[in-house]
Chains A and B, each alone.
Chain A
Amino acid sequence: MKKQIIISGFGGQGGLAIGKNLAEAGMAEGLNVTWAPSYGPEMRGGTANCSVVLSDKPVGSPVFARSTELIALNEPSLVKFEAGVLPGGMVFVNSDVVTDKVSRQDLTAYYIPCARIAEEVGNPKVGNMVMLGAYVAGTKILKPETIEAMIQEMFAGPKAKFIPLNIEAFRRGMACIS
């Protein structure tokens, strides 16, 4: 089992955090993981991205040309990375921001209204948690309990009030995948 995931969007959309959460959760489940961010000029072009590898074997390259899944949080990210998704792969599109559809027929596309759900849940900042839920439900690669335990840990102490909000966003994201 090896997942090579690209998560890409505008700075501030929480794409790098989605990647970090996936890596943390993968590590908690005993997988080998890497997280590699883009830190160059592409950040300014609206495709701030990170590459995450989750694997049951030691990770060779932390960067890759072909991904098993793409999470596109904005339009430029879909334009830039769709071609690199491996045949049979999945694309998770933030449909509140991206109006285009996935053009390739050999990919499974999920359109997730992250911003709308985040608003409904009560905080626009948790849009990335909605997307994380969609990814977990779509790929079934990680256990939802692992993510929820991680959220508990992430918001320990004075931030504990954010736990229900994030878990709700995560579950609503999962529910988008039928």
Chain B
Amino acid sequence: MEKELWKGNEAIAEAAIRAGCNCFFGYPITPQSEVPEYMSVHLPKAGGVFVQSESEVAAINMVYGAAGSGMRAMTSSSSPGISLKQEGISYMAGAELPCVIVNCMRGGPGLGTIQPGQGDYYQATRGGGNGDYRTVVLSPSNVQEAVDFVQEAFDIADQYRNPVMVVMDGLIGQMMEPIEWRPVPKRDLPPKDWATTGRKGRDHHNVINSLYMDPEECDRHNEHLWEKYALMEKNEVRWEEISCEDAEVVITAYGTPARIALTAIEMLREEGLKVGLFRPITLWPFPEDALRKLSKAGHVKAFLDVEMSSCGQMMDDVRLSVEGRKPIRYLGHAGGVMPTAEEIVDAAKAALKEGA
């Protein structure tokens, strides 16, 4: 298959169109503006609908409406814009509506900076909206993965009738890399017989709603949702381990820091130091069992978590998996500063000392 050079954001938009996305609603914000820009030109040509909404709040509610009528709907934004969409995401989880939401993350909090960031991990994995809900969160660390995951995300969303997020730092959106338009796994999906497309002789009206006035009924609804989330935890968890078989220090990182870590690991291995990478691909469900297993391995002396966030948000999940068995060091920058391979090398050496 021939390789093509694509910019992350444009590739994501094209991937969505190829996955049958027929409604896109968005609002420009750096560093994701190429997604709506590309969509505005190409989605109508493919027979779909593109609307540049008046705000991010409007965009996510348009997604709600389109998804409710059975469309493959999508929106994208960057951190502050994703914050504005949280109410809509919670409503869609409550109303069991499938959609794909792309967050091309920048530094925060507030308006922060337009440079790449990973400070929205808590928001994506814990839910930035109200109520007990979950979304599958896929995190690509190169443009090929971004393309593959966006296509798969529509199927995952439809399978569970739930929003799916594709979360990446701004660099993945801005950079260009060769990709192949390779086939992605297709799922056997149930018909959308719940969509509000008109009664058409059915014996009942389809209703899309997240409001349950009767607490018992709301409780049962939540139970049903949690059964669904348990299935996602069982079936959707993904991760990658690189050079972990003999690693004394395991670096945990996702997105761009995972790539930088690979460069650092190459440098460390040249010096004879055994360092590997554990890369969560789904941030939720987090690959807890796999990381727990690794933390029990005798050869693993310590962990080093690397993120583009100041406090180490994924670090919480790493801790919950490692459960105190091994020391965990943290290296992070926020505000749009990326860790360098040299910094990671130094931190890994410090981790090795700590774990010895």
Count of interface residues, chain A, beta-carbon cutoff 8 Å: 20
Given contacts A27-B3, A34-B175, contact A39 B263 (CB under 8 A): no
Decide: A61 and B260 in contact? CB cutoff 8 A: yes
Neighbouring B residues of A39 by C-beta, 8 Å: 30-31, 114, 170, 174
Neighbouring A residues of B340 by C-beta, 8 Å: 64-65
How distant is B41 from chain A, measured CB to nearest CB, in Å?
19
Q: Mark B1-18, 1 if CB is under 8 A from A, else 0.
A: 001010000000000000
B171 sits at the interface (CB 8 A): yes
Interface residues of A in 24-72 (CB under 8 A from B): 24, 27, 32-37, 39-40, 58-65
Which of A37, A40, A61, A64 is the most central at the interface, judged by chain B CB atoms within 10 Å of its CB?
A61
Decide: B263 and A61 in contact? CB cutoff 8 A: yes
B336 sits at the interface (CB 8 A): yes
B331 sits at the interface (CB 8 A): no
B342 sits at the interface (CB 8 A): yes
Which of A20, A27, A35, A60 is the most central at the interface, judged by chain B CB atoms within 10 Å of its CB?
A60
Count of interface residues, chain B, beta-carbon cutoff 8 Å: 28
Decide: B342 and A33 in contact? CB cutoff 8 A: no
Q: Mark B248-288, 1 if CB is under 8 A from A, else 0.
A: 00000000100111111110000000000000000000000
Neighbouring B residues of A36 by C-beta, 8 Å: 171, 174-176
Smallest Cβ-Cβ distance to B143: which chain A residue:
A34
Q: Give A107 to B340 CA distance when docked, in angstroms.
A: 23
Interface residues of B in 329-356 (CB under 8 A from A): 336, 338, 340-342
Decide: A35 and B259 in contact? CB cutoff 8 A: no
Decide: B171 and A20 in contact? CB cutoff 8 A: no
Given contacts A24-B5, A40-B336, contact A61 B31 (CB under 8 A): no
Decide: A27 and B178 in contact? CB cutoff 8 A: yes
Given contacts A60-B266, A62-B259, A65-B342, contact A40 B115 (CB under 8 A): yes
A114 sits at the interface (CB 8 A): no
Decide: A62 and B341 in contact? CB cutoff 8 A: no
Interface residues of B in 1-55 (CB under 8 A from A): 3, 5, 30-31
B177 sits at the interface (CB 8 A): yes
Neighbouring B residues of A59 by C-beta, 8 Å: 177, 259
Which of B174, B256, B264 is the most central at the interface, judged by chain A CB atoms within 10 Å of its CB?
B174
Q: Which 7 A-B pairs have the closest CB atoms?
A: A60-B263, A60-B262, A35-B176, A61-B260, A36-B175, A61-B263, A27-B178
Q: Could you list some 26 contacts between A and B, CB below 8 A?
A: A20-B5, A20-B176, A23-B5, A24-B5, A27-B5, A33-B178, A34-B175, A34-B177, A36-B175, A39-B30, A40-B336, A59-B177, A59-B259, A60-B259, A60-B262, A60-B263, A60-B266, A60-B341, A61-B256, A61-B341, A63-B171, A63-B256, A63-B338, A64-B340, A64-B341, A65-B341
